[in-house]
Amino acid sequence: MLIVVDVGNSNITLGLYDDQRLCHCWRMETVATRTDDEYALLLKLLLQEAGHPNSVVDGVIIASVVPALTRTMEKLTARLFGVAPLVVGPDLTTGMPVLYNSPKDVGADRIVNGVAAFARFKAACIVVDFGTATTFDAITANGEYAGGAIAPGISISMDALFRRTAKLPRAEFTRPDQVIGRSTMESIQAGTYFGYVGLVDGVVRRMLTELGARPEHVVATGGLAPLIARETATIPEVDETLTLEGLRLLYVLNVDARRARRPAR
């Protein structure tokens, strides 16, 4: 079985695959100061609760945007499962040329999402990922990573509003019943929610035009994707495990490539 690990700024998402089937999915808080011993214990307990011993895992792939935790994840998975994990980076085969001016600047999660989306649509497409930052990624009809856009995430925006104003309260992010708020709290929620929906629709529409993609080839992922996407006019599909599937595809691609390079005996 395969363990896929997506290390984000706010959360670490893990998936356990049996061939192409996602058997289990877990999410834990990203804490850069946790040691590999602590993360190893958490992962071991999650597997035990799901009824799997460590020995069932024979492959691991990691995508990380938190450099301090990349090595931690490598060490703990190697120790727990006795395999050398694959790490998404410049040395890993992705099958997706990157058209960024500096390809190494593209976050690992963005490439992984692009791989999964292109495998699904087999056409020009757009991925919107609602994470700590909200990212918009454009994939060409030839399967190239064309580039994208980055906006402050919803939590970052709301936290900044609370911290940089003297009288505005901290508000929960939720969909209000109407855009005209009847209280300060409702006004913050309305401005944040409907304002963010407008931001997403505006960026996606412009990106569709520049890319020449079809409107149905837009997919959203990330924890808040269902809440935002249902209100937008430009996101027809949500896949909360898109990144995990992209990691699985990259693992298969690289394992097959390594097998093909082995000299015949």
> Helix (H, G, I), strand (E, B), or coil: what is residue 137?
strand
Q: 259: pLDDT confidence band, cut at 50, 70 and 90?
A: low
Q: Which CATH number covers residue 14?
A: 3.30.420.40
Indicate the number of domains in the chain. 2
Is position 264 within any domain? no
Is position 16 within any domain? yes
Question: Average of pLDDT values for 177-204?
Answer: 93
CA-to-CA dists, residue 95 to 2, 104, 112, 154, angstroms? 20, 15, 11, 32
186 with 115, same domain: the answer is yes
Task: Tell me: pLDDT of 128 over 90.
Answer: yes
| DSSP helix, strand, coil percent of the chain (3-state; round to 5) | 40, 20, 35
Task: Tell me: pLDDT of 77 over 70.
Answer: yes
Longest dimension (CA), the chain: 76
Among 200, 202, 201, 170, smallest CA distance to 188 is for 170
Residue reference for tokens 């495998």:
119
As annotated, the active-site residues are 109
15 with 82, same domain: the answer is yes
Question: Average of pLDDT values for 92-114?
Answer: 93
Is position 94 within any domain? no
Last residue of a domain, one of 58, 87, 116: 87
130 with 192, same domain: the answer is yes
pLDDT score, position 86: 95
Is position 210 within any domain? yes
113 with 212, same domain: the answer is yes
83 with 107, same domain: the answer is no
| Residue 42 to residue 23: CA distance in whole angstroms | 18
Strands 86-87 and 59-64: parallel
Is position 96 within any domain? no
In the chain, % of residues over pLDDT 70: 97
pLDDT score, position 208: 97
123 with 220, same domain: the answer is yes
37 with 115, same domain: the answer is no
CA-to-CA dists, residue 99 to 57, 74, 206, angstroms? 35, 28, 19
Range of the domain at 175: 103-247
For residues 237-254, one letter each, b for 16 or more C-beta atoms within 10 angstroms of the residue's C-beta and e for the rest, the string is bbbbbbbbbbbbbbbbbb
Determine which of 55-64, 164-173, 194-203, 229-238 has the lowest per-residue pLDDT on average: 164-173
143 with 47, same domain: the answer is no
110 with 199, same domain: the answer is yes
Is position 8 within any domain? yes
Question: Average of pLDDT values for 151-165?
Answer: 87
Is position 25 within any domain? yes
60 with 151, same domain: the answer is no
Task: Tell me: pLDDT of 264 over 60.
Answer: no
Is position 33 within any domain? yes
125 with 208, same domain: the answer is yes
225 with 107, same domain: the answer is yes
Last residue of a domain, one of 56, 87, 118: 87
Last residue of a domain, one of 57, 87, 117: 87
